[in-house]
Structure 1
Amino acid sequence: MPFLHIRTQRPVGQGFFHTAMVSGAGGPAFCYVYDCGAMPKYRQARSNAIKAYRDARENMRPLDVLFLSHAHADHVNGVAQLPMGFAVDTIMLPLLSVEDRLIAFARSAAEAPASARDQFYRDFIADPAAALSRFAPRQILFVKPGSPDEGAPGGGGEEIGPYDEGGDQIGGDPRDGADRDRWKLVGRGRAENRRTVTGGGKGKASTTTDIATIPDSRAIAVDVADHLGPWLLAPYVDPGVVAERRRFFRVLRRQEGFDKRSLAAPDRLSKILSDKNEIAILVGAYKAVGRDLNVTSLCLYSGPAQDPSIQHFAWCSASMTNGRWNWFADGPRIAWLATGDAALREKRRVHDFAAHYGVHLGKVGTLTLPHHGSDNNADDKLLEKVKPSWCVASADRFSTWRHPGSGIMHLMASRSIPMALVTSSNASEFAEVVHVD
């Protein structure tokens, strides 16, 4: 049976919303989403894109995994609208410190004040686990940086082991309609800080969600195609800059009630995030420290677990409303790699990113540019390491931002790498179909 990876960058304006499915083993497709949000200015485009995705889903099977890259509003504020009509089995996001969450909130409030008035977003910043558990997922997995010696499974060219012996599953019994026998967590590192929370809500049945923290040396392996082996969804956590966090909190400590202990309490944090005067204090601290502060961001590799050395006929079709392209896959380059808002310009950070993924980078065909293609988050070092066939930037006009940056666009042109710019226009939606016989 042929293998298919269908992936779509949805037109939400200044934000990010990526949907995908993999199929090929004869069973139901494995469906996942990476980020779902947009700046308030583009709320209608975001709503339209989410509705189009929901309407296109057949028989409303559970969404297997929802990945969230970081805590900026334009990447998560559509989540509350997303699972209407279908369940979400697993949610995976980086382990975010209170510093990360507050810096992300302060930036969102400074750049688009309407973001700070979104109730789900405030709840997410105050307590991510509690906010996400209302969607009754089977499990929520927080991902932290793993040991530098233990990168993504298979990243060193090693076998990841038999698929069905890939490691412990965190959650309990599968939800109704879910097919959990087809994917497992693989890689090294143990789950930590396990706990269970009760979800549901007014008028809804009570549910339980298992929560744990795993290192980014763990990944999801999906049993989809015998001739390719398992399909891998491997995270990488690019950490925020510690010095900036410290400066941010030094400014906050000058204000009464903004000490670290009180800010770590979700109830206290919820009150702060609902008070316009205290929001103004957070915004002031953000502006006092600087702009465009790096926050922890989760990257995601979606591609073959092993080097397929494709002997099979493989092709990829990419389309936008105003154009269509077809090409033969460049050897094993059929994977997709998302970078969230990762800071991948510094030589050391690019080195760590590349070392984590190792040989998987040689399978990447499509790279989503970090931070909507900002010149501050990537340069030629990243393009040299990945050597993508395509780049995607999800961006639109907002304030004085210039996304994608002219420097990035020049670099891609110099390397003859085509770029798909996905805006709020439906005509810019970018869909790819990877087909392997």
Structure 2
Amino acid sequence: MFDITWIQHAVGHGGFHTGHLDVLGEGSFNWAFDCGSRRTAKFNEYLAAWARRSPMALDWLFVSHFDTDHVSGLDSLMSRTVVNNVMVPYLNEREFAYLLLHEIARENLDRTLFDLVADPIGFFVSRGADRVIFLRGRRPDDEAGISEGGDPDRPKDERGWYTVISPSPSTVSGPKMMADKSISPAHAQIVEGGFCEITLHAQAVGLRLKPYRAPVQPYALRGIIQAIKNLVGATFVGSIQPGLGALAYAVARHARTAAGRAGLRSIYKQYVGSSNRASLSLLSTPFVSTGVGQHWSLLRPFRWTDGSGSAPAWLNTGDAELLDSAELSDWQYCYRNELAHVRALALPHHGSDKNSSAALQWLCPNATLVAHVRGGSKKHPGDAVVVAAGDRLASVTEEIGSTVRMTYRAYNSK
């Protein structure tokens, strides 16, 4: 009566996770978390094959953050698949500028990245998305008043399913600059406070999607916009719409030469911080009424586990920084009621020692620990993470056999 399949796809160093829900007599629901890989050409071939096998629309696309290895496949995905709703972390212009320089310093000069940084709303809506929702974490010195209204989410779709977002997203106030004048501000919404719950239900069954992003703490990015403007000779007109507009493309032009890249790297080295601090996590779990039978199974390389009696959860973390005890505590508080039910935990930043520790693993004692990495990588997952994980660790590489898949079925037990 109710089936869900979660898949961490074999795309190597990057991330592509999909979920598919089927309700007997009520249709299907699909979502994805991140869409990128360092091996872009091979990944695009993989996406093309995936789209042929999975022709249904994506109801939700969650982008953890805008690093190239998490977004490089977005153009390919959205050219082959209808994407209805997109959720991304909100970044102000200083954080976007840091992200741009960070990727340039790593030689990731990708057109998709520049388009995203220039105008994230325009990027997704011009590629067919119905709306873009920003999830914003508060910080003491950040700008206020970027949202207004409080219109409720559309609660019922053509399939008869009810979708509720709590707290309700608000419309982003009309931007001063919009590259595509056909894109209405109504396409952009925002949820304040760092986390929300998206619940989908039909009859006595449903799905809960719970994204979280850490509150971004202040760090030394105050002069970054002016430093870039001085270098590239561009004028930046600030806007309450996220993105860098024409400044991003001026940076791209400047980065075409070795001297230009060297100048941009010198600015990058003057500033500290990480775009990973804004990276989304996403928990996905079914819910059913009492008296319904439940069974789940998880398949990983060389191991298969299953169980019954309670609904499982999958928890993605993108590149979230969860090494600091305070940041881990905030993350734990958000997911405190679900951690014991997590059966698959995607370790942050490919299992990097700099993003997580044994403390994170202990919070999900029943989970397989998933690291999506390049085959043969000596850097990821980190040594400390490997030691702490032991036989719970499953590395998803670009080899098809490394895929991790979890299935769930709810049925009438009478």
**Shorter-chain TM-score: which interval?**
0.7 to 0.9
Out of 103, 111, 121, which is 1:119 matched to? 111
**Is residue 344 of structure 2 the alignment partner of residue 366 of structure 1?**
yes
Checking the alignment, whether the CA contact within 8 Å between 1:19 and 1:33 is kept in structure 2 is yes
Shift of 1:207: 7.4
Shift of 1:293: 6.0
Distance in 2 between residues matched to 1:337 and 1:344, nearest whole Å:
14
Out of 416, 426, 429, which is 2:400 matched to? 426
Describe the SS at the equivalent of 1:135. Answer: coil
**What's the TM-score once normalised by structure 1's chain length?**
0.79
Q: What does the per-residue CA deviation read over 1:192-222, in whole Å, with 9 as the maximum and x for residues that have no partner?
A: 4255999999xxxx77661111124432111
Checking the alignment, whether the CA contact within 8 Å between 1:339 and 1:369 is kept in structure 2 is yes
**What's the TM-score once normalised by structure 2's chain length?**
0.83
**Is residue 324 of structure 2 the alignment partner of residue 346 of structure 1?**
yes
Give the residue type in structure 2 aligned to 1:233.
Answer: L
Checking the alignment, whether the CA contact within 8 Å between 1:89 and 1:138 is kept in structure 2 is yes
Distance in 2 between residues matched to 1:247 and 1:402, nearest whole Å:
33
Q: Which residue of 1 aligns with 2:130?
A: 138
Shift of 1:30: 0.6
Shift of 1:123: 0.8
Checking the alignment, whether the CA contact within 8 Å between 1:232 and 1:303 is kept in structure 2 is yes
Distance in 1 between residues matched to 2:94 and 2:380, nearest whole Å:
26
Checking the alignment, whether the CA contact within 8 Å between 2:297 and 2:406 is kept in structure 1 is yes
Distance in 2 between residues matched to 1:98 and 1:397, nearest whole Å:
35
**Is residue 65 of structure 2 the alignment partner of residue 70 of structure 1?**
yes
Distance in 2 between residues matched to 1:253 and 1:36, nearest whole Å:
31
**Is residue 269 of structure 2 the alignment partner of residue 287 of structure 1?**
yes
Q: Which residue of 1 aligns with 2:383?
A: 406
Q: Which residue of 1 aligns with 2:283?
A: 301
**Is residue 335 of structure 2 the alignment partner of residue 328 of structure 1?**
no
Describe the SS at the equivalent of 2:81. Answer: coil
Distance in 2 between residues matched to 1:432 and 1:377, nearest whole Å:
25
Shift of 1:75: 0.3
**Is residue 212 of structure 2 the alignment partner of residue 236 of structure 1?**
yes
Shift of 1:96: 1.6
Shift of 1:102: 2.4
Distance in 1 between residues matched to 2:15 and 2:225, nearest whole Å:
29
Distance in 2 between residues matched to 1:69 and 1:139, nearest whole Å:
17
Distance in 1 between residues matched to 2:401 and 2:220, nearest whole Å:
39
Q: Which residue of 1 aligns with 2:15?
A: 16
Checking the alignment, whether the CA contact within 8 Å between 2:34 and 2:62 is kept in structure 1 is yes
**Is residue 205 of structure 2 the alignment partner of residue 221 of structure 1?**
no
Checking the alignment, whether the CA contact within 8 Å between 1:369 and 1:392 is kept in structure 2 is yes
Pick which of 11-20 and 385-394 moved more.
Answer: 385-394
Q: Which residue of 2 aligns with 1:164?
A: none
Q: What does the per-residue CA deviation read over 1:55-77, in whole Å, with 9 as the maximum and x for residues that have no partner?
A: 111xx332101110001010011
Q: Which residue of 2 aligns with 1:29?
A: 28
Give the residue type in structure 2 aligned to 1:427.
Answer: G
Q: What does the per-residue CA deviation read over 1:244-266, in whole Å, with 9 as the maximum and x for residues that have no partner?
A: 53486686587475897579751
Distance in 2 between residues matched to 1:233 and 1:351, nearest whole Å:
20
Checking the alignment, whether the CA contact within 8 Å between 1:310 and 1:332 is kept in structure 2 is no
Checking the alignment, whether the CA contact within 8 Å between 1:341 and 1:370 is kept in structure 2 is yes
Q: Which residue of 1 aligns with 2:297?
A: 316
CA RMSD after TM alignment:
3.4
Distance in 1 between residues matched to 2:169 and 2:123, nearest whole Å:
25
Q: Which residue of 2 aligns with 1:44?
A: 41
Checking the alignment, whether the CA contact within 8 Å between 1:11 and 1:424 is kept in structure 2 is yes
Q: Which runs of 5+ in 2 are unaligned?
A: 140-150
Distance in 1 between residues matched to 2:221 and 2:65, nearest whole Å:
15
